[in-house]
Copies of this chain bind each other. A is one copy, B any other.
Amino acid sequence: MRNIDEHTITAAVLDRMSGCEDARLKEVMSALVRHLHDFAREVKLTEAEWAAGIDFLTATGQKCDAQRQEFILLSDTLGLSMLTVAMNHAKSPQATEATVFGPFHVAGAPQLPLGSDIAGGAVGEPLFVEASVRGRDGEPIADAVVDVWEADAEGFYDVQRPGDHPQGRAVFRTNAEGRLWFRGVAPVAYPIPTDGPVGAMLRATRRHPWRPAHVHFMIQAPGYETLITHVFREGDPYLDSDAVFGVRSSLIGNFAAHAPGRAPDGSLQDGPFHTLDFAFVLERQAPGNCAAQSG
């Protein structure tokens, strides 16, 4: 095909994929090309803007390394991550809602016994978490694998710090009653990393980079859909303007503040500490329903 113009090029690109036998890949790529072209035509993208886009995407890829995932950050801030999560999880009124995975999960975090302190030296006031993991009919889910990760009181995850000593992350297993308890640090609101292209995009569009304080949970159990979610801190000023659009009312927990004294683990705290109780409810895996989760 010769002499393609801005109107005929979309059909030309789609036609070029006509030999693709993977029907789903073809569907996704065709839709991608159509929407990409429609975008460029709608705004009449200039060549300078095209070049700026190439540079932006290149810089975004080059900011990524083992500790940093700038494309997830981009997807999160453009709302694509939350959109994908929302589409793929039925919102049954009983089950705990999912939210964004985020860029800070690390596979293979230390497996710790219930009651452990996950801080690993992270700065922050102590937080004592107690949680239950149940199915929709109230049945306790024993031996569920629970990944927990959180930032410290300065708003940084361990992977944002030098060294590779795990801080604020661990994997637990629920006990026979489907219960889980551990000690960590009280989360604070934090800005997503702004030293890369995504930060530049937020500044250029006059958006703030803040996320309301939260603790991340990923809960996996045979026969149940994997739940990837957060518990947000009630009262946080950023609950209504999360930079990544992840807040759901049902995920706001009561992080109770306590004066110095006896903590839930029996220890005597000489400074203020916090407690959080939260009940997670997992959806049963539909027969034949793929449990594939991102990340």
Q: Residue-by-residue, is A22-40 near B (CB-CB < 8 Å gives 1, otherwise 0)?
A: 1001111101111111111
Contact A80 B37, beta carbon cutoff 8 Å = yes
The answer to whether A87 touches B54, judged by C-beta atoms less than 8 angstroms apart, is no
- Closest chain B residue to A61, Cβ basis: B61
User: Contact between B21 and A206 (Cβ–Cβ < 8 Å)?
Assistant: yes
- The answer to whether B205 and A20 touch across the interface, beta carbons within 8 angstroms, is yes
Chain B residues with CB below 8 A from A107, complex form: none
Q: Are A37 and B83 in contact (CB under 8 A)?
A: yes
Q: Does A10 reach chain B (CB closer than 8 Å)?
A: yes
Secondary structure type dominating chain A contacts: helix
Verify if A294 is at the interface (C-beta below 8 Å from B): yes
Contact bitstring A1-13, B, C-beta under 8 A = 1, else 0:
1111110011011
Known contacts A13-B245, A46-B292; is-contact A31 B39 (Cβ 8 Å): yes
In whole angstroms, what is the CA distance A38 to B83 when docked?
A: 10
The one of B26, B239, B295 that contacts A205, using a Cβ cutoff of 8 Å = B26
Copies of this chain, whole number: 2
Does A48 sit within 8 A of B, measured CB to CB? yes
Query: Would B84 and A40 count as touching, CB distance under 8 A?
Result: yes
The minimal Cβ–Cβ distance linking A242 to chain B, given in whole angstroms, is 8
Q: Kindly state whether residue A248 has any CB partner on chain B within 8 Å.
A: yes
12 A-B contact pairs sorted by A residue (CB < 8 Å): A1-B241, A3-B248, A13-B79, A17-B205, A17-B206, A44-B88, A46-B88, A47-B292, A54-B71, A58-B61, A61-B62, A61-B64
Closest to A37 in B: B83
When distances are taken between beta carbons in the complex, the residues of chain B under 8 Å from A47 are: 84-85, 88, 292-294
Query: Residue of B at shortest CB range from A48?
Result: B292
Interface pair A79/B12, CB less than 8 Å apart: yes
| Residues from chain B with Cβ under 8 Å of A61 in the complex | 57-62, 64, 71
Contacts of A72 in B (CB 8 A): 54
Q: Judge if A268 is at the interface, Cβ distance under 8 Å.
A: no
Does A49 have its Cβ within 8 Å of any Cβ on chain B?
A: yes
| In the complex, A86 has a CB within 8 A of chain B | yes
